[in-house]
Structure 1
């Protein structure tokens, strides 16, 4: 794995789960991890409830835009985290793949999205502990 690992988060719409995970990893990784996110069928904007849930954590993801999953994004990543995107993600030898089973925040209210957000944070923190030998100061 590279000195600065690259992590790609993939979900169908790249509007909720993958965007929240990317937001946490950018924040908690403090520049020590390159973060990408994409979707197999991206929406035209990020889920506003996901934006609100992350804002409660002090993380602003309003500048992010859903992106289409490309072979190049997978190729340049060391770790690929899928979240309910099925078989849409290409497989390359030597990559680390994980599938995080998480409820989809699409169409949910903030009270329903908060536990999803909190589960994503816990998984991102565990991923950071595995990827980086020395923990960064966490906000």
Structure 2
């Protein structure tokens, strides 16, 4: 088991790096990133937590239904563009949260990285109620992760 890193375990010049990853980086990982940015700011951890996101095969844009349900929650993701993330980038992270569709193999990013699969349904093409449910579950996961970081 990988030891859990908390905010108090890190040197102030060495922030905790968290990656949110899915295949297209157009839905779940974008929602996760938005909620993580909100939590980081809400908790005053801007200089202590670095957030990265990407996909193994990024889409051209964030899914429309994701834009809609995140807008309902007060987030504007319309200017975000899905991007690729590499194994090299993931190996620099303390935590990697995959969304249930990752192509990552166990141990592929290294033993010092805490990889968590949140096993979330893909919102692409889903009705808004299903995407809202995924959004709310993602928010719970992100808040829980930040609670753990501050323990």
TM-score, with structure 1 as normaliser: 0.87
In 1, are the aligned partners of 2:34 and 2:75 still within 8 Å (CA)? yes
The corresponding residue for 2:22 is 11
Q: How many residues align?
A: 133
CA RMSD of superposed structures (Å) = 1.6
Q: Return the alpha-carbon distance in structure 1 between the equivalents of residues 16 and 114 of structure 2.
A: 11
The corresponding residue for 2:86 is 70
- Within the candidate set 93, 106, 109, 2:127 is matched to 109
Query: Which segments of 5 or more consecutive residues in structure 2 lack a partner in the other structure?
Result: none
The corresponding residue for 2:32 is 21
Structure 1 or 2, whichever has the larger Rg, is: 2
SS at match of 1:61: coil
The corresponding residue for 1:36 is 52
Q: CA deviation at 1:112?
A: 1.5
Query: Which segments of 5 or more consecutive residues in structure 1 lack a partner in the other structure?
Result: 134-139
TM-score, with structure 2 as normaliser: 0.81
